[in-house]
Amino acid sequence: MTYIIAQPCVDIKDRACVDECPVDCIYEGERMLYIHPDECVDCGACEPVCPVEAIFYEDDVPDQWSQYYDANVQFFDDIGSPGGAAKLGVIPKDHPIVEELPPQSQD
């Protein structure tokens, strides 16, 4: 089980979640951040600090963002399990469902 990040993060990237994660498993793409499903230890510390409420336990993802479970998992298909996000910095890609979104803004 894991937490995931959904669409409200896109183009916002507040990064408050990164500071809370005890295992450094929140990785930064170009337009949003992604939680590594195997490295997350379900501590839940990230969820309440996101100002746009983009973070959900995988069983609680709203229907309109259900694709974001796969987006968080598939983002790591070619990355594997680096065991820490800080050393990677910004990873120059996003999941295809994020790449195709028009620019997002916080309403």
Instruction: Based on the shown chain and the rule CB under 6 A, indicate whether residue 91 belongs to the binding site for ligand F3S.
Output: no
- Would you count residue 42 as binding ligand F3S (CB under 6 A)? yes
98 binds ligand F3S per the rule CB under 6 A: no
DSSP string, 52-75: T--EEEGGG--GGGTHHHHHHHHT
Residue 99 beta carbon to ligand F3S: minimum distance, rounded to whole angstroms: 17
Report the C-alpha gap between 54 and 77 in whole angstroms: 22
CA separation, residue 39 to residues 76, 101, 103 (Å): 11, 27, 29
The reply to whether 69 sits near ligand F3S by the rule CB under 6 A is: no
Q: How far is the CB of 88 from ligand F3S (least distance, A)?
A: 15
Q: Check binding of 20 to ligand F3S (CB under 6 A).
A: yes
How would you class 22 by CB atoms within 10 Å of its CB: exposed for 0-12, middle for 13-18, buried for 19 or more? exposed
Give the footprint of ligand F3S on this chain (CB under 6 A).
3, 5, 9, 12-17, 20-21, 23, 25-26, 33, 35, 40-46, 50, 52, 54-55
